[in-house]
């Protein structure tokens, strides 16, 4: 038996012998700068409201959101993605709170910018689902279908009010055709060429969004399969990617992360812009629930999933564990 080029001369286990050895040869490393914290702020509450389906996550008050943003800065993470939850009585068919300068999301953007300035990237969800009484991501036509082009007009207005409020980055998540180009034009028209667009390029119609519905107090009836992507498709994502880049996306994202690591890898291999992935509510809740029952090691599972997402090609990861993990790193 030869001792060179194969066993027993070649022993890969030599590079796994101690924690320091494993750390030295690790091919993928997590860093606080990789992370973006999704955060919810709810109008009209005096205390943070726990989200039952997402243990440890809350709908913030304006004050508790500012505290969470300051903690994110201290932990060294890069950004915070804000989702506004208006009072139910203010929702309507057009999602008016989404373009009201005094709507909860715009108020929250101003609050966080005042608290952290440029020390944290303030990112805003640019979508109508939290603000419409029907819960869809767009305006409905007379037949109850999402009207793509009418929705784009609303997105343009949203982009401008979010930029005026102080967003560094807008994140259009509605999956309307042409949304990136319309939003880029709307921002440029008001002289906000500095505001970046994080495109939700591949956003699949997923069962794993379930807990998020509670987090944003969604009014949705039915589903979003006519605009979110079919989980069976790959080429469709690459087509969406090409269109988003052509329309002016500065960064692109895959959502969800864990069930779509193959899509994430394909996207990361295809582009020369930053690539993000969103570890969504269902991914979070499954780990928390299994850990609570003692079925898995919570901390190891969190780090393993995040490492897998980064290994697949994500430069940045939106995760509800962003601050917690960054402190430990």
Instruction: Judge contact between 134 and 140, C-beta under 8 A.
Output: yes
Q: Is 311 annotated as a binding residue?
A: no
Instruction: Judge contact between 174 and 197, C-beta under 8 A.
Output: no
Q: Is 281 annotated as a binding residue?
A: yes
97: alpha, beta or left, given left = phi > 0 and alpha = psi -120 to 50? alpha
Supply the residues annotated as catalytic. Answer: 203, 255
Q: In the chain, what are the helix, strand and coil shares in percent, each to the nearest 5?
A: 45, 15, 40
Alpha-carbon span 267 to 123, nearest angstrom: 22
DSSP bridge partners of 254? 202, 277
- Reference 80, options 138, 22, 35, 19; nearest CA is 35
> In whole angstroms, how large is the CA radius of gyration of the chain?
21
Q: Is 113 annotated as a binding residue?
A: no
CA distance from start to end of the chain: 44
Q: Which residues are annotated as a binding site for Mg(2+)?
A: 240
For the annotated binding site for 5-aminolevulinate, the residues are 213, 224, 281, 320
Binding residues: 213, 224, 240, 281, 320
């Amino acid at each position: 038996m030869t001792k060179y080029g194969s066993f027993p001369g070649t022993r890969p286990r030599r590079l796994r012998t101690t924690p320091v050895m494993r750390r030295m040869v690790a091919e993928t490393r997590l860093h606080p700068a990789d992370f973006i914290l999704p955060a919810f702020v709810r109008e009209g509450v005096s205390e943070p409201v726990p989200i039952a389906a997402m243990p440890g996550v809350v709908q913030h008050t304006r004050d508790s959101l500012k505290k969470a943003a300051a903690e994110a800065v201290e932990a060294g993470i890069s950004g915070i993605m804000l989702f506004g939850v208006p009072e139910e009585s203010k929702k309507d068919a057009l999602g008016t709170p989404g373009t009201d300068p005094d709507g909860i999301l715009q108020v929250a953007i101003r609050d966080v910018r005042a608290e952290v300035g440029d020390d944290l990237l303030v990112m805003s969800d640019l979508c109508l689902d939290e603000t419409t009484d029907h819960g869809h991501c767009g305006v409905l036509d007379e037949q109850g279908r999402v009207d793509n082009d009418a929705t784009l007009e609303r997105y343009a207005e949203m982009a401008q009010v979010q930029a005026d409020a102080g967003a560094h980055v807008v994140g259009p998540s509605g999956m309307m055709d042409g949304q990136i180009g319309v939003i880029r034009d709307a921002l440029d028209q008001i002289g906000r060429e500095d505001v970046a667009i994080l495109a939700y390029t591949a956003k699949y119609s997923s069962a794993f969004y379930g807990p998020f519905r509670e987090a944003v107090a969604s009014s949705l009836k039915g589903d979003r399969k006519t605009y979110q992507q079919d989980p069976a498709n790959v080429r469709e994502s690459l087509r969406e990617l090409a269109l988003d880049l052509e329309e002016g996306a500065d960064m692109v994202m895959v959502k969800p992360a864990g069930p779509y690591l193959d899509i994430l890898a394909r996207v990361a291999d295809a582009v020369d812009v930053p690539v993000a992935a969103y570890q969504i509510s269902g991914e979070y809740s499954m780990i928390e629930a299994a850990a609570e029952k003692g079925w898995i090691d919570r901390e190891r599972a969190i780090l393993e999933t995040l490492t897998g997402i980064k290994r697949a090609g994500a430069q940045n990861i939106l995760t509800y564990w962003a601050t917690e993990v960054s402190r430990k790193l």
